[in-house]
Amino acid sequence: MSLVRRIGLGVGALGALTGTAYGAQRIAAARLRRAPDADAARALDAAAYVDHVLDTHDRGSIYVVERGGELDPPIVLSHGVTLSVRTWFHQLEELPKEGFRTIAFDHRGHGRSVLGEGGHSVENLGRDVKTVLEGLDLRGAVLVGHSMGGVAVQAFAVDFPEVVAARVAGIVLLSTLSHTPLGSQPTRTKARVEKLLKRSPDSQWLWDSPNLGFLAARVGFGRDPHPSHVELVRSMMRECPPATRLDAPRALVGLDLLDRLPSIRVPTLVIGGTADLLTPPAYARRIASLIPGAQLELMPGGGHMLMLERTDELDRLIVDFAREVRAAPR
């Protein structure tokens, strides 16, 4: 059976399963959502930040928020596909207390950023990281990229090594990937899969459903997440424009940066969770093995959304790494 046909059958089976199991899913979601949650107000309230809007190279714009002293060393946070700067509410609150200017941005077509004429592509992800660094004139920055945001950081690092050398002290690749299953497939196969994905129905109905959407968002977490964190992910997915939900993931079809990772010459920390179903720990191990000198940290039982589910542990890793690379001679 062809790969394209298997994908099509999988989509159909998912729809059937959704219909037959709806009652059980509602019960399970309601139980999970009632769990005690001391973080509910912080996770779901809109925080106030200093914000900026930066023009992209192709007539789009990047929305940026930040907290911390303007002269403090910068940490730049790059979120995952169909999410937004809200992903980083904990880090925007805690990292400035450690003495860092903490900056997050919405990727093109996400949140309050505007998609440029060039659309969604891996190359544009890297260019938009460059836009943030140059637009804010950042030096000695530590870049933290989660999932698709980690792809953005990798694309930037391999495409713009001279900018990395001038402006970046280190990179943190969090729950991310460098290669998709079709990364080494012929162009014709990739085109067929892209065509199939383009015909897929919009998932707005799923994220609009408090129960089914909650259970779908729960897949991104490891053991015992706060209900408010899962609800935050559902909320971001719900707010994501339908065109971005379709086109941004499709841009990763055929991703293959593996051969270029050895060219990265900046200190790198790779972090993953052992219970991550979306970017399994094997991905993190492979990335760390290919980037010269990269450190690897795997969090036992951690899922895909480590900035929410393992906040204290992740923040400590980022802070310690940022201090280490800034202190090292260059």
CATH class held by domain 3-327: alpha beta
Alpha carbons 251 and 183: distance in angstroms, whole number = 12
Q: Is the pTM higher than 0.85?
A: yes
Alpha carbons 132 and 146: distance in angstroms, whole number = 16
Question: Residue 311: what pLDDT?
Answer: 96
In the structure, what pLDDT confidence band is assigned to residue 306 with cuts at 50, 70 and 90? very high
- Mean pLDDT of all residues belonging to the chain: 88
Amino acid identity for residue 161 in this structure: P
Q: Which two tokens stand for residue 79?
A: 């979120």
Bridge-based pairing of strands 50-55 and 268-273 is unpaired
Helix ranges restricted to H, 258-310: 281-290, 306-309
Helix (H, G, I), strand (E, B) or coil at 174: strand
Amino acid identity for residue 213 in this structure: G
Question: Residue 39: what pLDDT?
Answer: 79
**pLDDT higher than threshold 80 for residue 329:** no
**pLDDT higher than threshold 60 for residue 16:** no
Amino acid identity for residue 70 in this structure: E
Instruction: Give ∠ CA 39-42-46 in degrees, rounded to 5.
Output: 150
**pLDDT higher than threshold 50 for residue 285:** yes
- If phi > 0 it is left, if psi is from -120 to 50 it is alpha, else beta; for residue 96 that is alpha
Helix ranges restricted to H, 160-241: 161-167, 187-198, 204-208, 210-218, 227-239
> What is the helix (H) or strand (E) element at residue 67, kind and residue range?
strand 61-67
Q: Which residue has the tokens 């162009």?
A: 187
**More confidently predicted of 41 and 220:** 220
Give the domain ranges of the chain: 3-327
